[in-house]
Structures are given as C-alpha cells and as structure tokens.
Amino acid sequence: MVTVVLLAGGKSRRMGQDKAKMRGGVERLRSLAIQCGVERIITLCGDASRQSLFEGETWPDPPSCTSLSEVLEWAFEKIGGAIQLVSCDSFQLEREGLAFLLASGGGVPLDEKGVRQPLLAHCPSEWELNSSEGRVSSLFSDFHSLELGELAIQMNNFNTPSD
C-alpha cells in the first residue's frame, strides 16, 4: 500500500496567497489520488490552526520541527511503507502523471526543464531518507531521477504569481 502525503503547510509568501487552496488545491490532489486507487492520503497542514481547512486525515507539524526537511523526516518515520509525496503547488499534475509516479517503483521526477522535483518523489518502502543537512534536496540526493517524457510538464511547481 502506498500512502500519498499532500504537503500543504507552507506560508506561500512568494505566491501571495495560500497555494493549498489555489486551482482546486488539496481537494483536487486528493481526488486524483482517490482516482488512482490510493487508500490512505495524509495532508501535512503545517500549523494546527490549518487542520480544519482540509478533509480526511490531516496532521499538523510537530512543535519540535522547524523546517520542511524535519517534518518530512518525522512523517516518514511515523508512516512507514511506501510514500508518494505531492506538493500542494502541483497545479499541473493530472491522473496520468500521478499514476505514472505511483507505478514507477521509486525516484525523484524531473520536470520539463530537467529539474528534480523531490516534493513529488515516490519512495518505496525499502528506501530510506538521507540525512537532511537542513535541506529537502539532501533527503533525496542519492535517489535516482525519473524521466517522464511528455508527462514531465505535470511535474512543475509554482512559487510566484508569474509562474
């Protein structure tokens, strides 16, 4: 069984509005996961005050975590098994892209520019995170890249209104 972990705890400062609510937001991504047959979906919502914004299983960040890399380490330890990460700013992700990631066997997808997107990584149960060194990219630094061909455009993320 794969657990999809939706990452929706960011402040969206550069975007200027809550990315978890834009373009269908977390609700759309949950729907995609359900369409792909995923049975367990967890939304990491950031501050506990955000839990009511989302449906289903929602986890606030533990007070001991001060960065996304620490939250991911905590969540991976708590969940166990295979994990598919999905960032709330995956505005172009569609069912076929998520299905490809879920069936990939694991890795970090490359977007259409060849940039690694670790917040869309598929992590099989036997794989372990690296030491974070305070950076998310470090957690996945030795994990192989996934080339998705035409689906690579679905792996883009968005951080500013001009994106």
Dump pLDDT digits (tens) for 99-112.
Answer: 999 999 999 999 99
Q: Which of 60-69, 94-103, 153-162 has the highest mean pLDDT?
A: 94-103
On whether the CB atoms of residues 134 and 69 are closer than 8 A, the answer is: yes
Q: How far is CA 149 from CA 19, 22, 90, 110, in A?
A: 26, 26, 17, 9
Fold of 2-155: Spore Coat Polysaccharide Biosynthesis Protein SpsA; Chain A (3.90.550)
Confidence (pLDDT) at 82 = 97
**Interval 29-41: pLDDT, tens:** 999 999 999 999 9
Percentage above 70 pLDDT, the chain: 87
Confidence (pLDDT) at 117 = 96
Query: Taking the CA atoms of the chain, what radius of gyration do you get in angstroms?
Result: 14
In the predicted model, what is the mean pLDDT of the chain? 88
Helices (H), 54-94: 68-79
The full set of domain ranges for the chain reads 2-155
Confidence (pLDDT) at 91 = 86
Instruction: State how far the Cα of 110 lies from the Cα of 14, in Å rounded to an integer.
Output: 23
Confidence (pLDDT) at 130 = 87
